[in-house]
Amino acid sequence: MVMGLRSRIMLLVALGLLIATAPLGVMGMGMLRVATDRVLEERLAMTRATADRLDERLAQGWLQLDQLSARAAMLWATADLTPVRADLRVLSPQLSLFSGGIFLADTTGRILAQAPTSPRLSAAVIFDRAMLRALQNGLQQTSNVIRVGDGAVVVFAVPVFEGPYQVRGIVGGVIDLTKPTLLSFISGLAVGATGHAAIVGRDGTVVASTDNVELFSRNEHPEFFTRFIAERRPIVGSTREDHGPEVEGPMHVMAFAPVPSAHWGLGVGQDEEETFGPIRRLRDRILIFELLVLAAALTFAWLDTTAVAAPLRLLQGAAERIAGGDLDRRIDVRRGDEIGMLGRSFEAMRVRLRQTLEENARLQDRLQSVAVLEERERIAREMHDSVGQVLGYVNTKAQAVKMLLEAGKIREAQAQLMQMEDIAREVYADLREAILSLRTPSSPGRQLTAVVEEYVRRFSDLSGIETRLLVSGDPGRSALGPTTELHLLRIIQEALTNVRKHSLARRAWVRFEAEDGRLTVSVSDDGVGLEAAAARSRAGLGFGLQTMRERAEAIGGTLAVRPREGSGTVVEVRVPEHAGA
């Protein structure tokens, strides 16, 4: 599809503006990306700092429990744990991290000492899997969230050894999750209307959160937290909030930092739209500004091209009228710019074309007269060469018949009369074919193939030889001049005349083939072939072939005669597609 001038101008204006504003847009978007990265970096730095502070506090708790474990191991052998119980009562108020108290238990789970002494620890705490693992493998353990009544706790367990490898019990610290012990670390991290912060255990359960609804559940991005707790690496990015398998939650920007001392993770999240809202609004303003500039430029381009397109349409209409042959209407474009100059040039061209056409019409009349004279000479020459020879032959035969009749040789006279009858029929056919040729003129208003098709049909009816016209390619594209078309038509007529007279053919074909800038016209038959036809011809085929060759050379073409594959003869003429144009 070809674009109009207006469309191309507007496209160029749009491309120019885009090229001019693209660097500014790229710089603006780059600054927005830097601002976005800065927000994410600050969010991650704040999260890591808080996680480091929490981890440091938990490490202190582990150290204090290790010290109690070492003192309990020394006194275990004396079977007098009274000093340990005293230590628990003294240290319990000081260990503010373990807001649910501290305790000492043996391998059977029996509580040997507890501070404060009430409320008494439930069996769910004593026989938690973390406690059992600490007793079995002798390693420090942090429990998952343990539900106790309406509340929940987390237990830090340190084994108590007797000897290098024998575990005699555990010292445990309990963090009561209903108290603000852990919440105090993250309460200042939640920003905005959708901001929230959470401490999550290794199994994805929320240990502490600024959103009470999420407490002790796995609704706080469980896959996100469990993956990066296991990998122990900080990260910041977007993740979708989990509201169940069939509910697609909003995207949140999450900053995560590990808390290695307890195998926890600390996350700070906020709705993505709220986090990047100011940056995205600035981006949208930049885009809207560029679109407004583009729209204004296109509007001005539209108005300007409208003033240009109107005279161009006038010139287009004038060009179409000239192409259609209308050279009488004046072209009037009143502008002082290049379009006005073009209009004046069009008007000068119209005037010159009109003068040229008038001169061509006069020349055409003269050429037509010359062509008529040439055709008369051709007919006279052919009548002399064919009919004249036949009349001389008839005269000779008539004298022979007279002499035979005078001599009383009736049968010989009849034989001579039969020969005269045959030659009369042949002359009659020649005259009818000559009349057919004269009635099949090539005119400027008709395509050559249409003229030949009509001639072939009438020739087939007249001669009794089944003759067909075959067209390959698009001969109509060949811009042949009138003289070239007339010569080609006469060559075809002469070739078909030879087929009728000499070939003894039952079928004949006239082919037009347009290919590679050349037009090939051929006449072929299924007759006896060139040599046999020449032997049958009393006057020979030389004169007809010479006439066709001269016609072909007169229009810048070539003529070739060759045997047809199987049987028959092919007469082929090739001319350039624009011969005589």
Domain positions in the chain: 1-326, 333-439, 442-581
More confident residue, 351 or 2: 351
Q: What is the mean pLDDT of residues 160-181?
A: 88
Residues with Cβ < 8 Å from 450, sequence gap 6 or more?
none
524, pLDDT greater than 90: yes
The SS3 assignment for 537 reads: coil
Across all residues in the chain, what is the average pLDDT? 81
390, pLDDT greater than 70: no
Span of 4-8, 165-169, 403-407, 542-546 with lowest mean pLDDT: 4-8
Which pLDDT score is estimated for 90? 86
445, pLDDT greater than 60: no
186, pLDDT greater than 90: yes
- 258-267, 428-437, 498-507, 525-534, range with greatest mean pLDDT: 258-267
Instruction: List, for residues 137-151, the tens digit of each pLDDT value.
Output: 888 999 999 988 888
C-alpha dihedral over 306, 307, 309, 310, to 10 degrees?
A: 110
Residues with Cβ < 8 Å from 428, sequence gap 6 or more?
none
More confident residue, 345 or 339: 345
Which pLDDT score is estimated for 16? 79
Which pLDDT score is estimated for 396? 78
79, pLDDT greater than 90: no
Which pLDDT score is estimated for 347? 80
DSSP letter assigned to residue 385 = I
Which pLDDT score is estimated for 138? 87
Pairwise CA distance, residues 25 & 30, whole Å: 8
Which pLDDT score is estimated for 65? 92
Which pLDDT score is estimated for 58? 95
Span of 62-66, 89-93, 376-380 with lowest mean pLDDT: 376-380
Give the percent of the chain with pLDDT over 90.
21
Which pLDDT score is estimated for 407? 79
CB 119: neighbour CB atoms within 10 A?
11
Span of 107-116, 439-448, 528-537 with lowest mean pLDDT: 439-448
Unique residue bearing structure tokens 């020879």: 389
Q: What is the mean pLDDT of residues 508-527?
A: 90
Polymer length of the chain: 581
- Whether residue 220 contacts residue 267, with contact meaning beta carbons closer than 8 Å, is answered with yes
Would you list the DSSP string of 251-285? EEEEEEEEEGGGTEEEEEEEEHHHHHHHHHHHHHH
226, pLDDT greater than 90: no
Q: Quickly name the fold that domain 1-326 has.
A: Beta-Lactamase (3.30.450)
- Whether residue 220 contacts residue 208, with contact meaning beta carbons closer than 8 Å, is answered with no
Give the percent of the chain with pLDDT over 70.
85
Q: In what order do the strands lie in the sheet with 507-515?
A: 466-472, 507-515, 518-525, 569-576, 558-563
Residues with Cβ < 8 Å from 453, sequence gap 6 or more?
469
Which pLDDT score is estimated for 212? 87
Q: Name the band, by pLDDT with cuts 50, 70 and 90, for residue 540.
A: very low
294, pLDDT greater than 80: no
Pairwise CA distance, residues 344 & 546, whole Å: 53
Which pLDDT score is estimated for 197? 93
Q: What is the mean pLDDT of residues 422-428?
A: 66
CATH 3.30.565.10 fits 442-581, yes or no: yes
Say how far residue 457 (Cα) sits from the centre of its chain: 52
Which pLDDT score is estimated for 36? 83
Q: What is the mean pLDDT of residues 196-208?
A: 91
Q: Name the band, by pLDDT with cuts 50, 70 and 90, for residue 240.
A: confident
Which pLDDT score is estimated for 536? 57
Which pLDDT score is estimated for 337? 75
Which pLDDT score is estimated for 558? 92
Instruction: List, for residues 305-344, the tens digit of each pLDDT value.
Output: 777 777 777 777 888 887 777 778 887 777 777 777 877 8
CA dist 87 to 75, 98, 452, 547, Å?
12, 15, 127, 138
- 101-105, 249-253, 365-369, range with greatest mean pLDDT: 101-105
262, pLDDT greater than 60: yes
